[in-house]
Chains A and B, each alone.
Chain A
Amino acid sequence: GQQLNQSPQSMFIQEGEDVSMNCTSSSIFNTWLWYKQEPGEGPVLLIALYKAGELTSNGRLTAQFGITRKDSFLNISASIPSDVGIYFCAGPMNTGFQKLVFGTGTRLLVSP
């Protein structure tokens, strides 16, 4: 099925570094959602974006809704070991029952 492309696929960084990841699509989305998933757990909603150009923060996390509505970005500042996990972007399709499409994921590893 349709997927959103995320990059990078994985990142291994030192504690304290800033992190940037992005999510792109060939289709326009009206909503972008960012989730974090830790091993053996369900995804946890971090940030929701509803308007092109919107910039929203949640603590050390900042996400942006791309102007073209075909991309979104997530930044994590001053990373800490508990930031480890897989970060997924997601967006509801504009047709039918607005099925949520997920990105391919960015795996983040943080070294203390």
Chain B
Amino acid sequence: EAEVAQSPRYKITEKSQAVAFWCDPISGHATLYWYRQILGQGPELLVQFQDESVVDDSQLPKDRFSAERLKGVDSTLKIQPAELGDSAMYLCASSLQQGGEQYFGPGTRLTVT
């Protein structure tokens, strides 16, 4: 069964350092999403791609976060510099099209010390 892949699964970094997460969506899924999830809450959308284009990054803290999906397949989310408040689960999801069923990867648990 096709799955969304994410790496690393866990990341510990010191504040002010740079950190990057990678996501490989289900093959053929045009829409890719990055979410942040605080413990005990539902995921919140950071950025949405349609193929290689960003279609919604209204909730992305652009002073420190960046995301790219250069060839419209896999994607990278970067934080520079990391802050203590960035500690959270970062989830990637993909869907065939906008508004379709979203399938999530296992997530990256980030701890900033």
Roughly how many angstroms separate A48 CA and B59 CA in the complex, as a whole number? 26
The reply to whether B42 and A102 contact each other, CB–CB distance below 8 Å, is: yes
For residue A76, give the distance in angstroms from its CB to the closest CB of chain B.
Answer: 19
Whether a CB of chain A sits under 8 angstroms from the CB of B82 is: no
Q: How far is B104's CA from A40's CA once the two chains are assembled, in angstroms?
A: 13
Question: Which listed residue (B48, B56, B99, B106) contacts A42, Cβ 8 A?
Answer: B106
**Residues of B in contact with A, size category:** 20 to 34
* Alpha-carbon distance A3/B44, docked complex (angstroms): 10
B105 interface residue per 8 A CB criterion:
yes
- By beta carbon, the residue of chain A nearest B4 is A42
Report which B residues bind A (CB closer than 8 A).
4, 6, 33, 40-45, 48, 50, 55-56, 59, 91, 93, 98-99, 101-107, 109
Q: Which residues of A are interface residues toward B (Cβ below 8 A)?
A: 1, 3, 31, 33, 35, 40-45, 48, 88, 90, 92, 96-100, 102-105
